[in-house]
Structure 1
Amino acid sequence: MTRWLNEEEQATWQSYIRMRQRLEAAIAAGLARDGLSASDYEVLVALSGAGGQLRAKELGAEICWDKSRLSKHLSRMAARGLVDRCQAADDARGREIRLTDQGREALETAAPNHVELVRRLFIEDMTDTEAEALRSLADRVVPRAERTDVPGIG
């Protein structure tokens, strides 16, 4: 038997959905002003955080993208000079994705505006207690979501 959300639970879920959608739209618009999509930025941040390169499989796992989406997006990014796709040194079938100088420059150009927008839209209105509660909630929800049988997750 399905346990439907009660009125308060439904209101909480819908508030979260609206917040996520509006934040994602605002963040995407901010990044677009700097010539990047939100997906570009996500890939560039993951590569930068990993020292500039990752195996394609590791990159996909890091950003929770399936192989097809990752491959198509990396092709577009490579065509724009943001990343290089190279054969892995230790595996003839494996691919390494490398952040190019142009990709690093694009990330460094977009990052200050992105961080300021995140701060203004999300961080500034949150008290320390609320921030701690949000981190605590995320620390409980994320592992459960990663264990689900959903393509591209976990």
Structure 2
Amino acid sequence: MNERLMGRLSRLLQTEFNVSPADFAVLAELTDVPDRRRLLDIARALEWEKSRMSHHITRMVQRGLVVRDECAEDGRGTFVAITDEGRAVVEAAAPRHVKAVRELFLDHVTPSELRLLARISERVMEKLGEEPASRERAARPASCGRRERRRGGR
């Protein structure tokens, strides 16, 4: 279901607004900040690798959707800002995207099904928010960790 829904939304964004879902995600992230945002922060928010984000931003710069500025403070970081053209695209696409999500998904589930899906999603998102090391520790039996420490200390 997710793949088909995302495929349909992808085609809609591409044909009606000439942006990919990845472009739309980046532009949406940038509309949440008044000025500019660190490239690495956008990558983290979208759970992309830094190199993927950097390459994607380069393509978006070439299309005039965003601008890239080097960080003067440390010389290593990069800032990204949405352009007027990028803002116009996301502002035009967002209402159509919301309408499509309603037509393709929300209109076909009951309020109680939606509440259940929300509870399930919150639980999954909570787990996804944990650091991998803390998930591994949580999955291990409590005695296992204590036993290993005792052995290691002898």
Unaligned stretches of 5+ residues in structure 1:
1-18, 150-154
Report the secondary structure of 1:93's partner residue: coil
Further displaced range: 39-48 or 91-100: 91-100
State the alpha-carbon separation in 1 of the partners of residues 12 and 50 from structure 2. 27
Unaligned stretches of 5+ residues in structure 2:
133-154
In the alignment, is residue 40 of structure 1 matched against residue 9 of structure 2?
Answer: no
Q: Aligned residue for 2:49?
A: 66
Query: Which of 126, 131, 140 is the equivalent residue of 2:123?
Result: 140
Deviation at 1:145, TM superposition (A): 2.3
Report the secondary structure of 1:98's partner residue: strand
State the alpha-carbon separation in 1 of the partners of residues 113 and 74 from structure 2. 46
What TM-score do the two structures reach when normalised by structure 1? Answer: 0.80
State the alpha-carbon separation in 2 of the partners of residues 94 and 22 from structure 1. 37
State the alpha-carbon separation in 2 of the partners of residues 134 and 148 from structure 1. 24
Report the secondary structure of 2:76's partner residue: strand
In the alignment, is residue 125 of structure 1 matched against residue 138 of structure 2?
Answer: no
In the alignment, is residue 54 of structure 1 matched against residue 41 of structure 2?
Answer: no
Further displaced range: 26-35 or 136-145: 136-145
Give the ranges of 4+ consecutive aligned residues of structure 1 lying more than 6 Å apart after TM superposition: none
- CA spacing shift, 1:138–1:67, aligned 2, 3 Å: same
Deviation at 1:148, TM superposition (A): 5.7
Deviation at 1:51, TM superposition (A): 2.9
Question: Which of these two proteins has the greater Rg computed from alpha carbons?
Answer: 2
Q: Aligned residue for 2:89?
A: 106
Deviation at 1:82, TM superposition (A): 0.3
Further displaced range: 132-141 or 23-32: 132-141
Deviation at 1:88, TM superposition (A): 2.5
Deviation at 1:143, TM superposition (A): 2.3
Query: Which of 61, 71, 80 is the equivalent residue of 1:78?
Result: 61
Further displaced range: 25-34 or 84-93: 84-93
Aligned positions, number: 131
Query: Which of 11, 18, 25 is the equivalent residue of 1:29?
Result: 11
In the alignment, is residue 91 of structure 1 matched against residue 91 of structure 2?
Answer: no
Q: Aligned residue for 1:7?
A: none
Deviation at 1:133, TM superposition (A): 1.1
- CA spacing shift, 1:54–1:37, aligned 2, 3 Å: same
How much identity, in percent, do the aligned residues show? 35
Counterpart AA for 2:126: P
What TM-score do the two structures reach when normalised by structure 2? Answer: 0.80
Counterpart AA for 2:88: E
Deviation at 1:37, TM superposition (A): 0.3
